[in-house]
Amino acid sequence: MSEKQRILLIHPPFYRLYTDEYSYDRYPISLAYLARTILRDTDWDVMVYNADFNKKNRSGNSNIKFGFRSGKGYQNYLASLKDFSTPIWDEVRSTIQSYRPTVVGISAMSPNFASASIVAQLVKEYDDQITVILGGPHASTSGRDAIKSPCIDIAVRGEGELTIVELLQALEGKKNLAEVNGIIYKVNGNQTETPERDYICDLSTLVFPYESVSDVLMDFQHYPLQAFNNVFANRGCPYDCSFCGSRYIWSRQVRFRPIDHLIQEIMDLRNKGVNNLYFCDDTFGANKKWLSEFCTALTKSCPGLKWSCEIHARLIDDKTLSLMKEAGCYKIELGIESGNNDILKRIRKQITIEDGLLAAKRIRDHGIELHVYFLIGFPFDTEQTINDTFKAIKSLKNRASMSISIFTPFPHTELYEFCLQNGLIEDSFNVSLHNYASLDCFCLNVPQERFKEIAVEIENFIDKSNHNYTLRRMVSGNTIWRIRELGFNKSLGSLKKILVNKGGQK
């Protein structure tokens, strides 16, 4: 092993705490950017460890469900946060001991912060001289609270590419921590906070995150090719939803990558065999002029490419959809959230339910697959407003795949403050112990048990609708083979009905 100083970047386990049959078969793109930047701009060795990737159990991953109905997975999750003798924590220990890092960087969202805290504890138990840095969304929104942990030395707020390089230089003694903008650190046990770091304006200065992946990603050889298909086209979201903390990470000022820079990354990925991409921007194509120019360039430079994205309903029109489809877009994800216009107004979604359903119709009319996200349990939801959302879901039956999530108050969002002020949560609220599977209700006007009943009913409906939607797509695409292999062991009756409805087509 090289005698250079070493930094280990860790994506902490989350779903593997529910069941070790799960595997997150992706290279976490935030860590990919950091790792490649460190290689480019420092002399440090770097390794990325995705602790939610399970090389032993990937084969059964597609059939695992994380729904409301069974609380077993959530109970396993809570138990794993207390029992450090479980196999996943042994794996974390083994990885730390094998790599012997000088610095450990942990990327955490609010839901997996409890897990990230345990990873930090295991690092310090191995060697308390290792510097532990926390990054990711939770550090950006809750860094002051997170760094209260005795096992976390530094929290990074906002974009991390420039910060991590300066941090490593400071830890080498080449500069002072106080000169590194965008961090919170401890001096004699007291927190010190440096000025905010400016956002990266010229995104062409960013690395291509998947370069050198085989050199830095632990167990690289066990990952499927599609683990490396996430691409950022822009950073920032112009919208201002009251339940979302995106603005604290990327800001509301959308910064677009130059199209030639983006096209070059895509072409490099295609040369590696990746021909199906997912644009993981918070809001893809927030500027229609940029989107039009990008689709035109993509059509010319990357014929045959397939890609998907999430886009805001306000950006949907026939001309845009035509350009996107011609450029290879085969699937669009749409966040409608609520079926009630008063709720949509209060969460500042900037659409009506009519807008959302019209956008969904237009997407389907253009022959593009559709996935719609809904969210229930807002503090001001009532049984009636949730029923309005259920009606919207029913209107999309068999026409789109759908997801239903439970509202959770994320730190420092406006709805988090609303929940605090109205007694729905306490100051000691630990968001990492509450998520969609915990089925907690944060409504002022819906009792907990009644909320659970409604949520389970909606999830049951969505599961059946998604099942039929998938079968219909298989039939229309003449891909009804492998139905049993894909896990639809009870689908032949449904398939027969679909075939009959299609006039006996076989």
Q: Could you tell me if 129 and 156 are in contact, meaning their C-beta atoms sit under 8 angstroms apart?
A: no
Specify the CATH number of the domain 6-193. 3.40.50.280
Residue 434 one-letter amino acid: H
Interval 475-502: pLDDT, tens: 665 444 344 444 444 444 443 443 444 4
Query: Which is higher by pLDDT, 357 or 65?
Result: 357
Specify the CATH number of the domain 229-501. 3.80.30.20
Of 2-6, 86-90, 485-489, the one with minimum mean pLDDT is 485-489
| Residue 50 to residue 25: CA distance in whole angstroms | 9
| Residue 442 to residue 445: CA distance in whole angstroms | 9
Q: Output the pLDDT for position 490.
A: 44
Whether the full predicted model's pTM is greater than 0.85, yes or no, is yes
Q: Output the pLDDT for position 99.
A: 97
Interval 408-425: pLDDT, tens: 999 889 999 999 999 999
Q: Output the pLDDT for position 477.
A: 55
Q: Output the pLDDT for position 500.
A: 41
Largest CA distance in the chain: 76
* Token pair of 340 as six digits: 């009630």
Q: Output the pLDDT for position 66.
A: 60
| Residue 333 to residue 316: CA distance in whole angstroms | 12
| Residue 373 to residue 208: CA distance in whole angstroms | 30
Is the pLDDT at 354 greater than 90? The verdict is yes
Cα 196 to chain centroid distance, Å, stands at: 24
Whether 6-193 shares its CATH topology with 229-501 is answered no
Report domain extents, the chain: 6-193, 229-501
Q: How far apart are the first and last CA of the chain?
A: 59
Q: Work out the pLDDT band at 96, boundaries 50, 70, 90.
A: very high
Q: Output the pLDDT for position 465.
A: 95
Span 204-230, average pLDDT: 96
Interval 286-318: pLDDT, tens: 899 999 999 999 999 999 999 999 999 999 999
Interval 156-180: pLDDT, tens: 999 999 999 999 999 999 889 999 9
